[in-house]
Chain A
Amino acid sequence: GAVVSQHPSRVICKSGTSVKIECRSLDFQATTMFWYRQFPKQSLMLMATSNEGSKATYEQGVEKDKFLINHASLTLSTLTVTSAHPEDSSFYICSASLAGRYNEQFFGPGTRLTVL
């Protein structure tokens, strides 16, 4: 149980385009989903927290107009990187939990974004 999927696993796009990444909880209803960014050989940095049906809460320094997060259902959250630039290239990981319980997060396999 507690499986989280991400799609796509890898994506390459041109600078200036937008990319959407999906995060799904496959066998449970995730009230809260989290989006992390991981730079090479570094730790995970929380970008934002989203609760189903409400606006995401972004961490300080994360541009909410650039990283659009939608959590329209209890099993799906999406992260859209708008007008992508090479510096947005990174590994993006989502996680899901019940009712904001940070200590019970289930992580997706991650999405490798490369912006040319």
Chain B
Amino acid sequence: AQSVTQLGSHVSVSEGALVLLRCNYSSSVPPYLFWYVQYPNQGLQLLLKYTSAATLVKGINGFEAEFKKSETSFHLTKPSAHMSDAAEYFCAVTPSGGYQKVTFGTGTKLQVIP
């Protein structure tokens, strides 16, 4: 069984401030972990993914995430928020190997304040 918990359904940051979106996972086997971004009325775009290689994963648009097994976390960060980062972000997990169902978190809506 696997699950993902995203802490905070809404996060507000000022433009230029650090973005931190939290994700904790539960998995009975080594996981693959993902972060997706969704803009209004659009599908999901992959930001980054962890597939058991480097624990610090760099993605698109300046985002990165660190896999911490001891904390069962995969938090998403960006040093400086941009207005265009305002969107919904989903953390997701699947058992390693990638041939099983992906479980998505409930999402975090990021608001960037000018």
A in complex with B = yes
Q: Is the CB of A103 within 8 A of B34?
A: yes
CB neighbours of A102 from chain B (8 A): 94, 98-102
Describe A's contact surface by its main secondary structure: mixed
Q: Is the CB of B102 within 8 A of A42?
A: no
Interface size class of chain B, counting residues whose CB lies under 8 Å from the partner chain: 20 to 34
Measured between alpha carbons, how far is A93 from B71 in the docked complex, in Å?
32
Considering the chains assembled together, what is the distance between the CA atoms of A13 and B3 in angstroms?
35
A-B contact pairs, 26 of them (CB 8 A): A6-B43, A41-B9, A42-B106, A42-B107, A43-B90, A43-B104, A43-B106, A44-B90, A44-B104, A46-B102, A93-B44, A95-B43, A95-B44, A101-B98, A102-B99, A102-B100, A103-B32, A103-B34, A103-B49, A103-B94, A103-B102, A107-B43, A107-B45, A108-B43, A110-B41, A110-B43
Q: Which residues of B contact A (CB under 8 A)?
A: 9, 32, 34, 36, 41-45, 49, 51, 90, 94, 98-102, 104-107
